[in-house]
Structure 1
């Protein structure tokens, strides 16, 4: 994301965004909103543009931007007793901030071959439906607030740098 001013979402974009924050897929959103998949994709493109996200930012990165900029309310935590260790929190933040898998593994400091397994374990532990929902849960638990500390000594790359 860049530091340029964001453009507030339209009511239609907010409806799509609310579903997205809860982990709904494009097909589910289209079905619930009674619109085509291409309409949902179009809204997602507009949402990314309004938030100054890269055009190909992943849905988790887009959800993180939506919640960071207060464009939609954060979802409730599925249960309050979720306790993530530092490696799991690092992976959560990596998914929130990076679109390219290479950047995610670098930020999470894991081997590329472990990304899928560790991500599945993290989504299962949190009760998330998918990685997009995981970001919403991370925000609900206070683990991804804008002021959440990053690992000391790491500058990291943004979603744009992973392009």
Structure 2
């Protein structure tokens, strides 16, 4: 029998005194709780590198995409274009990005990483791998790959549903 939290338990089976309550075994609870713990840990990790989640997301998008317009960058990271300006201002103040006039349209601005921005993205990515290893230390390499695959499936399904009108 499955309860509303996704935990499966037969009606004849009683949890041992040491076993966690049913709600703590449910998939939804575990995802929410781990998500909260990881978000907090990730925030601290990025803070140690002088970044917020929004700043890191923009830097990674620029690293992957190359120079892009501010509006396109906002779309890439799913942030309102008005909100991206303040994040870009903070990154520009640290010389991590540069804004230039678009070659074809001087009214438009193109954003690109500076050498310092590329170096920071590389450093944080390497440290992030170590942080992920720490988080997932209880899993084998095969289980980590499987977990990532399953989470991407759930995420893709949920994201597709969100985009539907």
Both structures adopt the same fold (TM-score exceeding 0.5) = no
Larger Rg: 2
Name the TM-score, length of structure 2 as normaliser. 0.31
Name the TM-score, length of structure 1 as normaliser. 0.31
Question: Which of the two has greater strand per residue?
Answer: 2
Q: Which has the higher contact order (CA 8 A, sep 6+)?
A: 1
Question: Which of the two has greater helix per residue?
Answer: 2
